[in-house]
Amino acid sequence: MIRYLLLLALAGAACAEKARFDNYRVHSVLPESEHHLRFLRELEENNDFLFWNDVRAVNASVHIMVPPHKTAQFQEIVDFVGLKSEIYINDVQKLIDAENNNPAARSGIFGWNAYYRLNDIYNWLDSLEAQYPGVVSVVVGGTTYEGREIRGVKVSYKAGNPGVFVEGGIHAREWISPATVTYILNQLLTSQDPAIRDIAENYDWYIFPSFNPDGYEYTHTTNRLWRKTRSRSSSLCYGADPNRNWGFHWMDGGASSSACSETYAGSSAFSEIEARSLSQYISTIADKLSVYLSFHSYSQYLLIPYGFSNAHISNYDTLMDIGKKAINSLSQRYGTKYVVGNIVDVIYVASGGSMDWVRGEYGTPITYTYELRDTGRNGFVLPAEQIIPTGEETLDSVLTILQEARSVI
């Protein structure tokens, strides 16, 4: 019997189908009291519904995905508690089907009109090394649970530059993050704009499009909405949140000790090989880093440390000042509106993130975490047509940060 079940399980794994989200809706609900907030936090902890964004504050909408078979249950809950609810996405599967249907994705030429698989990104990084000898070198920042490389590039036009670290894709489903990071990398190498050439050539860049390659591949092959790593602990659930796993104020609020939670912090600090090996890599270059930029989606925020506390860090005023200038630059091109602030103030407590660790361990002066487009109408499933506009406006703000950083580093 046991052998039979094992065979069934193996067969199931071998022909595992892609998760589908037909008629899954995303509702935007509005907490209007502390009572509503407490209720929503409890609902999130139950893991009955997938929350697409965080429960933040009164009047800040919360986006909750509701499968068709739970529509009645959800409606009952919302009515019972008296929450205002609006449908943001009517059919998640339709959005997924439309997200990446550009033929460019299948043409074999890497670009920014479609989202790409990990190997396409890695092959492109390798091609840059060949194309820009002496400037681009491929670097390996770590290893994943499933044995993949965490591959990045170093871009250096001359010796002695201050270093900028660019991290993408730590959360697997946030596809706009790796796409934006590769967009920025490409511009640093190809742009003729003197301002871009200036930051490209007078900083050294360490650029990693995907900090969570196993998770990213899994979002392509199996479940578009996967967030975590793919490690296996003893429990029924896979993975930990790699942005709750870093060893600075680990499990100090806004992280879960439950393995099935989307924000499971892992069994210990750096239990995830991705966070552990990347932290070791960062340690080898930390004395060269003046700037650390982390890219997530979605919500249109520019966030400063820390996530475990909103106590003002030593250069809070400087980071806020530069941040305001950066989001102003970002808004110029397409009118995209961001909010800048401390993580706790803007979202909620979240401990164990990579930016907190870099800042806490090494005191890196200029550190920001982006939550890229949009504000929930597409959420994680941002249509590929928005990659280039997102890349353009984001680079506008990165330019401002690096220009402004010069006077303080």
Ligand X SMILES: *[C@@H]1O[C@H](CO)[C@@H](O)[C@H](O)[C@H]1NC(C)=O
Residues forming the site for Zn ion (CB under 5 A): 171, 296
Closer residue to ligand X in complex, CB, 58/195: 58
Query: Which residues on neighbouring strands pair with residue 342, listed in sequence order?
Result: 304
Query: Shortest approach of ligand X to residue 320 CB, angstroms?
Result: 21
171 touches, from Zn ion, ligand X, none (C-beta below 5 to 8 Å by class): Zn ion
Q: Which does 63 bind (CB under 5 to 8 A by kind): Zn ion, ligand X, none?
A: none
Distance CA(320)–CA(14), nearest Å, equals 50
Which of Zn ion, ligand X, none does 230 bind, CB closer than 5 to 8 A by kind?
none
Find the shortest distance in angstroms from Cβ 277 to Zn ion: 20
CB 356 within 8 A of CB 344: no
- State both tokens at 66: 């509701």
Strand, helix or coil for residue 314: coil
- Cβ 181 to Zn ion shortest distance, Å: 13
33 belongs to the binding site for ligand X (CB under 6 A): no
Q: What tokens appear for 115 in the block?
A: 């989202």
What 3-state DSSP class applies to 232?
strand
**Residue 296 binds which one of ligand X, Zn ion, none, with CB within 5 to 8 A depending on kind?**
Zn ion
- Cβ atoms of 89 and 27 closer than 8 Å: no
**Nearest distance from residue 76's CB to ligand X, in Å?**
25
Q: Find residue 143's DSSP bridge partners.
A: 149
> With CB cut-offs between 5 and 8 Å by kind, which of Zn ion, ligand X, none does residue 59 bind?
ligand X
Q: Is the peptide bond before 204 cis (omega within 30 degrees of 0)?
A: no
- Residue 221 region, left (φ>0) first, then alpha (ψ -120 to 50), else beta? alpha
Side-chain half-sphere CA neighbours of 110 within 13 A: 19
User: Smallest distance, Å, CB 176 to Zn ion?
Assistant: 11
Is 228 or 296 the residue whose CB approaches Zn ion more closely? 296
Of 29 and 401, nearer to ligand X (C-beta) is 29
From the list ligand X, Zn ion, none, which binds 260 (C-beta under 5 to 8 Å, kind-based)?
none
Nearer to ligand X, 57 or 109 (CB): 57
Does residue 58 interact with ligand X by CB under 6 A? yes
Q: Which amino acid is at 217?
A: E
Nearest CB to ligand X, comparing residues 59 and 90: 59
> For 270, what's the count of Cα atoms within 13 Å in the CB-facing half-sphere?
10
356 and 307 Cβ atoms separated by less than 8 Å: yes
Q: DSSP 3-state assignment of 176?
A: helix
**Closest approach of Cβ 296 to Zn ion, in Å?**
3
How many Cβ atoms are within 10 Å of 144's Cβ, its own excluded? Answer: 25
Q: Which is nearer to Zn ion, 224 or 296 (CB)?
A: 296
For the four alpha carbons of 43, 47, 50 and 53, in that order, the dihedral sign comes to positive
List 59, 119, 222, 280, residue binding ligand X (CB under 6 A):
59
Catalytic positions, please? 371
Binding site for ligand X (CB under 6 A): 58-59
